[in-house]
Structure 1
Amino acid sequence: MRESMSEIKFTKDETDQIVAKVKAYFNDELGHEIGGFEAEFLIDFFAKEIGPQFYNRGLSDAQRLFAEKSDELGYLIDELEKPTL
């Protein structure tokens, strides 16, 4: 079964780390403090609105890498062939 972006869930520890990073960014870069609720709301918004682009890019990169490595493996297998009479 395929997992869609909306089905991806983070653990509480992962969520806490992401929330802390968003809060720190707002404070350090924008000089604005936001609470945990606001940070989670932003995370959910970005995950829904732009998450699929990042997810799809990751899949595309993985597919390209797999194809490259598959080609390399094919060449290595060809090199193992024994001459025939």
Structure 2
Amino acid sequence: MMGWIKPMKNKNNLKLSKEKREQMKNEIKVYFSNERDEDLGDLGAGLILDFIIEELAPEFYNQGVFDAYQYMNDRMEDVLGLQK
């Protein structure tokens, strides 16, 4: 990744609605049940979700920013090709 892309300053600035957070916790619980045959409670699912938001999500965000930069840069080169 290019050095000019700065990581998100505040790791926990991703805010989820109560409904979205509950949906994600339920998806985590279903995953653990299906893949690991473990029953995970609300607290455990919430802690896993917090870990993902705080530690992993910034990397996905930064990759998305970089991908968008590359896409836009490629499109700008296409526009320059229209010069006469």
Query: Which structure: larger Rg?
Result: 1
Structure 1 runs of 4+ with >3 Å offset: 2-5
Structure 2 gaps of 5+ residues are 1-7
- Larger RCO (alpha carbons 8 Å, 6+ apart): 2
TM-score of the pair, normalised by structure 1: 0.77
Task: Look up the match of 1:52.
Answer: 58
Residue 25 of structure 1 deviates from its aligned partner by 0.3
Contact kept, 8 Å, 1:5 with 1:55, in 2: the verdict is no
More helix by share: 1
TM-score of the pair, normalised by structure 2: 0.78
Aligned-residue CA RMSD in angstroms? 1.9
Structure 1 gaps of 5+ residues are none
Number of paired residues? 77
**Identity of matched residues, %:** 26
